[in-house]
Amino acid sequence: MKAKVFSIQGEEVKDITLDDDVFAREINEGVIYYAIRNELANMRVGTASTKTRGEVRGTSAKPWKQKGTGRARAGRRRSPLWVGGGIVFGPKPRDFSYSMPKKAKRLAMKSILSLKVQEENLKVIEDFTIESGKTRDLMSILKNFVKDERTVLVLKDDDAMVKRAARNIPWLSFLSYNRMRAHDLFYGKNILIMETAAGNLNTFYKEN
């Protein structure tokens, strides 16, 4: 498929060929869901912790004798039935992460890219860098393509100066073509891909 390449001023300058298997394939909604769910699970810290009746501080002495008081029998003050007692089946530190098949993850990325092309929310722009590393210089480029909407900028490499300029823009995420995140791509209102990154995506995701 053919796609327009825009200059940083927002003008059409030429065409680029995008691989149909990456940018114009049938969309698999199910694998997109599983890819996003996998990323969110892997991001969970899993440090929530509560104390059981054996871990809370307190005496283990019997509060009162078993019979003759008229009250319910009680064994110790650390019982979950008492205020300040232990927690029954409370959370403990755990690892929520799990692995996803590589082919399924790649299929999810290709499905999302194809979806964004169908929705006309994906644009290819000429390669650029921000030599000053200043946010205002990057904003002067972005305003030609998007408003203050959730936007993803796909970089051709790990450009430290572009990342430095982008980190102060709350609605902008930046990804490298070889380290994409399904969550950011799917929920991004606009996807801006540098020309070299688009060419790299053709080959990076073409196989499998």
Mapping DSSP to helix (H, G, I), strand (E, B) and coil, where does residue 190 land? strand
Structure-model confidence comparison of residues 13 and 48, the more confident one: 48
pLDDT at 207: 63
Residue 123 one-letter amino acid: K
The torsion angle over the Cα atoms of residues 56, 59, 64 and 67, rounded to 10 degrees, is 70
Residue ranges of domains in the chain: 2-28+102-204
Q: Averaged over 12-39, what is the pLDDT?
A: 92
pLDDT at 208 over 70: no
pTM above 0.85, yes or no: no
| Residue type for position 58 | G
Strands (E), the chain: 2-6, 12-17, 122-125, 151-155, 172-176, 190-194
Radius of gyration from C-alpha coordinates of the chain: 27
Q: What is the pLDDT of residues 144-202, one digit of tens each?
A: 998 888 999 999 888 889 999 998 899 999 999 888 999 999 999 999 999 999 998 98
Evaluate whether 139 touches 166 at the Cβ level (below 8 Å): no
pLDDT attached to residue 203: 86
Please state, in angstroms and rounded to a whole number, the distance separating the CA atoms of residues 138 and 206.
31
Q: How far apart are CA 51 and CA 84, in angstroms?
A: 10
Question: What's the CA gap between 1 and 61, in Å, rounded?
Answer: 78
What the block records as the tokens of 124 is 């290819």
Mean pLDDT estimate for the chain: 92
Residue 61: the pLDDT is 92
Q: What is the pLDDT of residues 91-129, one digit of tens each?
A: 999 999 999 999 999 999 999 999 999 999 999 999 898
What pLDDT, on a 0 to 100 scale, did the predictor assign at position 111? 95
Q: How far is residue 33's CA from residue 160's CA, in Å, rounded to a whole number?
A: 31
Q: What does the pLDDT average to over 2-11?
A: 89
Kindly state the average pLDDT of the residues 27-50: 95
Sheet of 2-6: strand order equals: 12-17, 2-6, 122-125, 190-194, 151-155, 172-176
Q: Which fold has domain 2-28+102-204?
A: Ribosomal Protein L4; Chain: A; (3.40.1370)
